[in-house]
Structure 1
Amino acid sequence: MRRSHLGAVVSALLVAAAVVATPFTAAGAPAAAAESYTWKNVRIDGGGFVPGIVFNPTEKDLIYARTDIGGMYRWEQARQSWTPLLDWVGADRWGWNGVVSVATDPVQTNRVYAAVGMYTTGWDPDNGAILRSADRGATWQATELPFKNGGNMPGRGMGERLAVDPNRNSILYYGAEGGNGLWRSTDFGATWAKVTNFPNVGNYRADPSDPNGYNGQNQGLTWVSFDRSTGTAGTATQTVYVGVADKENPVYRSTNGGASWERIAGQPTGYLAHKGVVDPVGGFLYIATSDTGGPYDGGKGDVWRFDRATGAWTRISPVPSTSTDAYFGYSGLTIDRQRPNTLMVATQTSWWPDAIFWRSTDGGATWTRIWEFTSYPNRSKRYTMDVSSVPWLTFGSNPAPPEEAPKLGWMNESVEIDPHDSNRFLYGTGATIYGSTDLTRWDAGDQFTIRPMVKGLEETAVLDLVSPPSGAPLISALGDIGGFRHTDLDAVPPMMFTQPNFTSTTSLDYAETKPAVLVGPATSPTRTAPTTATSRSPLTAGRPGSRAPSRPASTAAARSPRRPTAAGSSGRRATPASGWCTRSGSAPRGPRRRASRPTRPSSPTGSTRTSSTPSPAACSTSAPTAGRASPPRPPPACPPPATSSSRRCPAGRASCGWPARAGCGAPPTPGPPSPGWRR
């Protein structure tokens, strides 16, 4: 029997004219009618794509993370956990849970900014906004923009698009998507005006013919970076770099504080610059490029260094795009600010056998790789992984070498070395945030340890919940990672559903007289037609090795204390529906939520929260979902590489369903968006 879903979300009002808005103020915990409930998150720890991690360059341990539909977070060093900052977002502005960029102020470090908005298509009826806070996200004011932002659109891993002038921090720039150009604020983000003399609004579209428009948007401007050394405190920084989604003109520059702009001469062409990182000490701009905007695909790319003094561009790619070993683009570019010649860069997408990271201590002249093939399929590694705090990150998989579980990750758009501590780095994946606190062991030839650093960041798309009167207090139906049996609401469950193995569980119900018998439809990574299965007890996590790896996906959600249900999701083609059911085969009560395209939900996306009162707790939403949580792998029939040391795509990969045009390890070509599968 279904427990009722919980009530309405407090709405937030904003009145705007053009780009100058009456400030909207929201506290981190909005006022609400008195109630006897105390709310906490049910712990899952992560579960979706984290496209951006931003360290404050002047205050240690001040770190922010953004998600594509799950809001924004601030790191709490003492608790070693993340605090959600956008829980106040209500149903009337649900799209503001999509965060396309974050900027932290290097001068007045309490100031922080976020560019929010979910879709640039009609799926999100509201325009985007720039949020600003003077107390690290405890309260916010907003300026609505005259266009939409796409926190869950293609290219969302590029960035950061929003930047604060490190010398005159009242100045900010925002590089918009959708052909909307470059925008500037001179009053700490309160008002914004278009930079009309910026010459290029971008032209790259992932798929101009996409009938849904999702892949057809102009990905616009991709990042803004200041060269701090070209200004002094209180005066505007003179040199500003801007990335543009234009393969023939990917980087522009101003050398006079934005009075004029120019395409930098001699720049590399043919790829998109995902990242642009300035080294003000050495006078360099580094860019990482890929042949698509990502975050799921990308088969070629390079890393380049621009010398401000000489105007020379130098390709410093660990594996240049001209190499036969190149089957990936680059992203996740970062500099060690304590040692500016030390760089790291990641594959923007390398699905098989795993992501690759490189590290250089000489400005990119030479690189070492995080893992190498020895004799195929064996690999030597400079790292160890410990996922004991979030054990489900193995996805119940026990793959054959050279793959391993857990993976280093996928969709590694944001890799960041702590500017205050060379030993710490964090990086986002399609499922979590990983990090290390002994990174420099890499340089000594020793192994360093990578762990999940994601506690408090709850980013799952909650499609349904039940709280049976006996057994586990909560069973969840989630997008992309199936769901969990939560025996302890304050502990991370050891594994998602693996018997049967679902990509997304879309509804749940149990038999009133036999609550151990449950029913629910789901999408499956392996079934080609709707099926059912019987369950005499609540779904349990499978033993390691019992879960077939699903297509890559991620889940995301923002949290709100009281949530209505909502329908609709986003992204790519769902795998065929399957299900599990009661012995009698009774049909589930919940909707299957399959549609030709996403629909606007009636609430913001939701994570799981429970009440401390004795009554059963159940609150859920279905959500526009995004990214990819579970890692893919090639079908077993795919042959291994021709040589033990080859990094190339195995011969015959295309015949195994992995299109050759997308390069080694690329996922199958997706169809139009529909619920349960996020692209």
Structure 2
Amino acid sequence: MQHASTQAVAAAAVPGAAATSWASVTWGGGGYVTGLIYHPTNASLLYARTDVGGAYRWDATSSSWIPLTDGLGFGQTEGRYHGVESLALDPTNDQIVYMVTGDTTYWGANGRIYISADRGNTWTWYSLPFSVGGNDTGRAVGERLAVDPNDPSTLFYGSRTAGLWKSTDSGHTWAQVTGLSSTTMTGTPIGVEQVVFDTSTIGSGQPTWIMWASIAPDYANAAGLTSTLYKSFNGGATWTPVPVPSTVSGYYIPHIVRTADGLFYMVFNKNAGQGAVGPGYLYQFGASDNNNWTLLNSSANGGYGGLSVSGLGSSARIALGVTGTWGNYPGQQVTQISDDGGNSWREIEANMTHTGGDGYSGWNEDTVIDPANRDHIMHIFGGGIWETTNASSAAPTWNLKVNNLEETATLSVTTPPAGAPYKLINSAGDIGTWVITDLTTRPTLGPTANWSSGNAADMAWSDPLYIVGAGVANWSGAGGFGFWSGDGGNTWANFASLPAGAQASTAATGNIVATSRNNVVWAPANSVPSYTTDNGASWTATNLPALAVVGQGWPRGYRLAADRRNPNKIYAYDSGGATWATPGKVYVSTDGGHTFGLSQGSVSANLAPNDWNDSSIAVNPNVEGDIWLSDGNAVYHSVDSGTSWTKLSGFASANGAPGASQIALGKAADGSSYSAAIYVVGTMNGVWGVYHSDDGGATWSRFNDDAHQFGGIQHIAADWNTYGRIYVNGTGRGLIYSN
């Protein structure tokens, strides 16, 4: 199925309606880059794929990465296609890029192949007849997708669950290569790992007849195959097992490199997956003799993942990534190189100088030597990409190569009142909570540098130096924790105690609000909210009803919002938790969040039941009792503190996208009739996007465009200093702001 473009709706024009440009709030990396791919005949072209954040192309002019998967085909219902399992480049045309996407094979949903004729600037996609696991275990195995260099309309794909597949029409349609196997598996196996063509020429127009395929032991066992390496002499029609050394029988083959002299270099590892320990082995394989295997290196502890070769034979430089090792210690191995074809080795990274971060070890699953400069070596890791440009030095120096590559996952974002000494608070998975003072530099103000997740944060509107937050202590597995700062994030402390439900709360479906210094209301996931009047020394449960379970393992929670004009008023929104649950309800407190009463007006409004991520509530800080709510289907407005609600027309679910999922308020345009600019993530006239109103919801216009969809938006906040600036999360794309 080919994806067809849709046009933005024609809407009433309002001043400054559309964003003119978008940029990333700087973190730098933050997620797992799973592969680095140079064009085979144009060494100036370098691509990166990620497990949840799409794909990028390196721009040498600006020394930054260009995101390629923000546009059409990556909208609100398409975030799972930001998981890129493989990239392939046409060696005869450096404009053509193929990309296979899908987040996991677990659910059995089929993946997609995206095809670009302009180096990834625009894409056309087709559905695949098999599932794809860009975020599954072993996701740095690569590349599964291969373009026949002699007949580039012929593609092969090594799938995880359904064997080997072939396309003869440039990826539009696919057929299973039953000559290898017709077995189909379930779950999240590794499957067929790679296809390598036995040719050093390109563009003959005839298919390559001789090729090799590496098979993970999970699929080999399921399919009854007798080896983990197979060879075809007839373009993939039939396959013959190639015996591998007995030492590595039943091992995974993460990477294979074929050099121009016909030699193969193969890494074997006992275990699969990111950070997998060994034993690991590197062999050289003479293709002319199936039994000609030469052991070049081995590791009893750390696993072998990344592999790259520059040059031939005894003068070849080999870069070998060692994975599953952590920290610095004598004898540690992270990146090993040989300059004599594998006869001798030296470590070039462990205990060397690293600029811009740490944690470079552990997940070194893909390592590449620059085809134009063998002193330039890169490797991936759990936080992005490391590179050295002086690999031949006795002590190479390493730097992060993550400029404009943003792969963090924002779970909550909030903006302070105008004039605060910071711009926003970003709560994100795996990197924690951070107070952002400069959008262009990596933040330094956070409650912990340990591995944590930030679920929610807030500040006292009249005293924004007082910040509170809730998160998860990933580093210890200790569950949820809460923290506060009294000086705008310069110093932090954990709350002395936790309310009921917070310790066990690891889901992001909870939040926290501050009404004034020391006065906080916290709603942990799946729990009754509690309040404190002594900055967390003690907590008291509110009278809000307990939340019924809507599905096994399906988290839900109350959304809290403080009335900034009257901090005694707190609003609690229960969205129902799922589309099959009870209708949404709003509760109102007039005593600082200690006790709540049900808004009968919200019951009369018949709010749709919906998931946490498809619903939100926001309060206009300029007017007491002025509340906005999106229930996943529509937008509602109350001007009397929730006593009554008016449903706005225009928003409606369509094509699987919610009618209105997120809402945010920010600085109003000069001279506008309403005291805040309103932004809604939703669907109007069948077109999903971010919509904007300057007149209190009377008229709307689309604020983003088809080129800026970011894999969907689950969180949004608007700036109170700058009109027209919003902050949105993309699926695995970090935090992005409009200009």
| Structure 2 equivalent of residue 587 of structure 1 | 521
Distance 1:111 1:521 in 2: 45
| Structure 2 equivalent of residue 51 of structure 1 | 34
| Structure 2 equivalent of residue 311 of structure 1 | 290
Closer/same/farther in 2, CA of residues 231 and 499 from structure 1, 3 Å limit: closer
2:199 pairs with 1:228: yes
| Structure 1 equivalent of residue 270 of structure 2 | 291
2:83 pairs with 1:98: yes
Amino acid paired to 1:459: E
Distance 2:86 2:56 in 1: 12
Closer/same/farther in 2, CA of residues 54 and 196 from structure 1, 3 Å limit: same
The answer as to whether partners of 1:527 and 1:578 remain within 8 angstroms in 2 is no
The answer as to whether partners of 1:475 and 1:485 remain within 8 angstroms in 2 is yes
The aligned runs of 1:67-78 (5 Å cut-off) are 67-78=50-61
Distance 1:26 1:253 in 2: 41
Deviation of 1:408 after TM superposition, in Å, equals 2.9
Question: Which of the numbers 147, 152, 156 marks the counterpart of 1:173?
Answer: 156
Structure 1 range deviating more: 159-168 or 338-347 = 338-347
SS of the residue 1:302 aligns to? strand
Closer/same/farther in 2, CA of residues 77 and 412 from structure 1, 3 Å limit: same
Structure whose alpha-carbon radius of gyration is higher: 2
SS of the residue 2:392 aligns to? helix
Amino acid paired to 2:239: W
Distance 2:733 2:213 in 1: 29
| Structure 2 equivalent of residue 61 of structure 1 | 44
| Structure 2 equivalent of residue 412 of structure 1 | 364
SS of the residue 2:275 aligns to? coil
Greater share of strand residues, 1 or 2? 2
Closer/same/farther in 2, CA of residues 461 and 313 from structure 1, 3 Å limit: farther
The answer as to whether partners of 1:54 and 1:65 remain within 8 angstroms in 2 is yes
SS of the residue 1:316 aligns to? strand
Distance 2:442 2:366 in 1: 25
| Structure 1 equivalent of residue 335 of structure 2 | 357
The answer as to whether partners of 1:181 and 1:220 remain within 8 angstroms in 2 is yes
| Structure 2 equivalent of residue 619 of structure 1 | 727
The answer as to whether partners of 1:509 and 1:589 remain within 8 angstroms in 2 is no
2:249 pairs with 1:269: yes
The answer as to whether partners of 1:435 and 1:453 remain within 8 angstroms in 2 is yes
Deviation of 1:141 after TM superposition, in Å, equals 1.0
Distance 1:202 1:365 in 2: 41
Distance 2:227 2:141 in 1: 16
Distance 1:350 1:31 in 2: 53
| Structure 1 equivalent of residue 454 of structure 2 | 505
Aligned residues: 525
Question: Which of the numbers 369, 374, 382 marks the counterpart of 1:430?
Answer: 382
Distance 1:314 1:161 in 2: 24
Amino acid paired to 2:727: C
2:137 pairs with 1:154: yes
The answer as to whether partners of 1:484 and 1:541 remain within 8 angstroms in 2 is no
Q: Using the aligned pairs only, state the percent identity.
A: 30
2:429 pairs with 1:479: yes
**Normalised by the size of structure 2, how large is the TM-score?**
0.64
SS of the residue 2:463 aligns to? coil
SS of the residue 1:274 aligns to? coil
Structure 1 range deviating more: 297-306 or 103-112 = 297-306
SS of the residue 2:78 aligns to? helix
Deviation of 1:228 after TM superposition, in Å, equals 2.0
| Structure 1 equivalent of residue 176 of structure 2 | 194
Question: Which of the numbers 207, 227, 230 marks the counterpart of 1:252?
Answer: 230
| Structure 1 equivalent of residue 102 of structure 2 | 117
Spell out, residue by residue over 1:513-545, the C-alpha distance to the aligned partner (whole angstroms, 9 max, x if none): 222222221001347365444321333488xxx
Distance 1:453 1:499 in 2: 24
| Structure 2 equivalent of residue 327 of structure 1 | 301
Closer/same/farther in 2, CA of residues 531 and 331 from structure 1, 3 Å limit: closer
The answer as to whether partners of 1:40 and 1:611 remain within 8 angstroms in 2 is no
The answer as to whether partners of 2:54 and 2:732 remain within 8 angstroms in 1 is no
| Structure 2 equivalent of residue 42 of structure 1 | 25
Amino acid paired to 1:327: N
Distance 1:260 1:526 in 2: 51
Amino acid paired to 1:386: T
SS of the residue 1:95 aligns to? helix
Amino acid paired to 1:521: A
The answer as to whether partners of 1:226 and 1:239 remain within 8 angstroms in 2 is yes
Closer/same/farther in 2, CA of residues 529 and 349 from structure 1, 3 Å limit: closer
The answer as to whether partners of 1:522 and 1:577 remain within 8 angstroms in 2 is no
Closer/same/farther in 2, CA of residues 228 and 298 from structure 1, 3 Å limit: same
Deviation of 1:312 after TM superposition, in Å, equals 2.6
RMSD, aligned α-carbons: 3.6
SS of the residue 2:255 aligns to? strand
| Structure 2 equivalent of residue 538 of structure 1 | 488
Structure 1 range deviating more: 50-59 or 243-252 = 243-252
Deviation of 1:226 after TM superposition, in Å, equals 1.7
SS of the residue 1:319 aligns to? strand
Amino acid paired to 1:517: Y
Q: Which has the higher contact order (CA 8 A, sep 6+)?
A: 1
Amino acid paired to 1:328: G
Deviation of 1:314 after TM superposition, in Å, equals 2.5
| Structure 1 residue runs without a partner (length 5+) | 1-15, 17-22, 204-212, 321-325, 373-380, 388-392, 394-405, 548-572, 627-679
The answer as to whether partners of 2:26 and 2:440 remain within 8 angstroms in 1 is yes
The aligned runs of 1:11-26 (5 Å cut-off) are 16=1, 23-24=2-3
SS of the residue 1:273 aligns to? coil
SS of the residue 2:433 aligns to? coil
Distance 1:73 1:64 in 2: 6
Spell out, residue by residue over 1:239-260, the C-alpha distance to the aligned partner (whole angstroms, 9 max, x if none): 2221211176221121222232
| Structure 2 equivalent of residue 386 of structure 1 | 355
Structure 1 range deviating more: 137-146 or 595-604 = 595-604
Distance 2:480 2:305 in 1: 39
2:464 pairs with 1:515: yes
